[in-house]
């Protein structure tokens, strides 16, 4: 979208035959705007110039003649899947200040200036809390599609007070980064700091200076790794083993 103009929208094929009430089905309505002027073409029928009167979903919208009446539609039942719809570059409509107040106000029981999220077609999105312990989901209220995208933070996600640390000697042979003789069984993460030499970190015992992640002297690295996620260190330089301080926390 330009500052004062809508960009041209290239032709999109109909995904279904149009309807007598002006409904057009295409692969995506996301680029189109309410009130935008459009052109419908068919190899065997007259071209149609119209205006978008309603956008129902990400695939369907309604077309009517240019004008202020949103309920007048164009009969498109003769326009099959060989038809296309496009929009030329055009000036964006001017919106009166008082209309902006109306557009952003949400009625009772919310009664507030709207800052709630909406999708590309204007449908309100809402958070839905599932049963205790399950993921929190983001749902589209209009069609009840649910996307498990948001996880609820729990007390168990925080560090629980267990830890162990050690000074680990890292040579040219990879050694596991752990704070004791055995890995902390409820480990949530590992702090690693080389003291006197740079080392290399990896997640397999084949790590080397050629494929590992470098950690420099006095650089502290925290890796959120459970006990099953092993971390390996190797010293790629000469001059003996490197001293590395390793603390596991759980």
Contact 22, 74 (CB under 8 A): yes
Structural domains present in the chain? 5-91 (2.40.10), 97-150 (no CATH), 163-249 (2.60.120.770)
d(CA 87, CA 72): 20
Q: Write the pLDDT tens digit of every residue in 169-194.
A: 999 999 999 999 999 999 999 999 99
Model pTM score = 0.48
Whether residue 111 has pLDDT greater than 90: no
Q: Write the pLDDT tens digit of every residue in 27-47.
A: 999 899 999 999 999 999 999
Whether residue 117 has pLDDT greater than 50: yes
| Residue 10 token pair | 């290239």
Q: How many percent of the chain have pLDDT more than 70?
A: 84
Dihedral, CA of residue 207, residue 209, residue 213 and residue 215, to nearest 10: 120
User: What pLDDT is attached to residue 175?
Assistant: 96
The pairing of strands 60-64 and 84-87 is: unpaired
d(CA 157, CA 179): 21
d(CA 198, CA 242): 8
User: What pLDDT is attached to residue 110?
Assistant: 77
Whether residue 147 has pLDDT greater than 50: no
Q: Write the pLDDT tens digit of every residue in 99-108.
A: 888 877 888 8
d(CA 1, CA 35): 15
d(CA 186, CA 250): 5
d(CA 8, CA 31): 10
Whether residue 150 has pLDDT greater than 60: no
């Amino acid at each position: 979208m330009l500052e004062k103009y809508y960009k041209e929208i290239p032709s999109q094929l109909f995904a279904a035959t149009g309807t007598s009430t002006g409904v057009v089905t295409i692969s995506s309505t996301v680029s189109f705007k309410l009130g935008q002027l459009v052109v419908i073409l068919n190899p065997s029928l007259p071209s149609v110039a119209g205006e978008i009167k309603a956008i129902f979903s990400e695939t369907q919208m309604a077309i009517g003649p240019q004008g202020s009446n949103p309920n007048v539609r164009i009969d498109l039942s003769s326009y099959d899947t060989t038809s296309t719809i496009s929009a030329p570059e055009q000036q964006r409509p001017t919106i009166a200040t008082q209309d902006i107040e109306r557009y952003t106000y949400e009625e009772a029981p919310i009664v507030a200036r709207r800052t709630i999220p909406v999708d590309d077609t204007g449908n309100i999105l809402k958070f839905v809390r599932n049963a205790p312990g399950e993921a929190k989901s983001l749902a589209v209220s209009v069609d009840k599609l649910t996307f498990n995208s948001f996880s609820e933070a729990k007390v168990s996600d925080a560090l629980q007070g267990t830890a162990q640390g050690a000074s680990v000697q890292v040579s040219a042979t990879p050694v596991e980064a752990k704070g004791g003789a055995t890995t902390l069984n409820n480990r949530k993460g590992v702090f690693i700091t080389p003291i006197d030499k740079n080392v290399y970190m990896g997640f397999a015992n084949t790590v080397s200076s050629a494929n590992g992640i470098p950690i420099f002297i006095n650089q502290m690295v925290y890796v959120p790794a459970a006990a099953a996620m092993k971390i390996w260190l190797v010293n790629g330089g000469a001059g003996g083993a490197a001293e590395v301080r390793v603390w596991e926390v759980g």
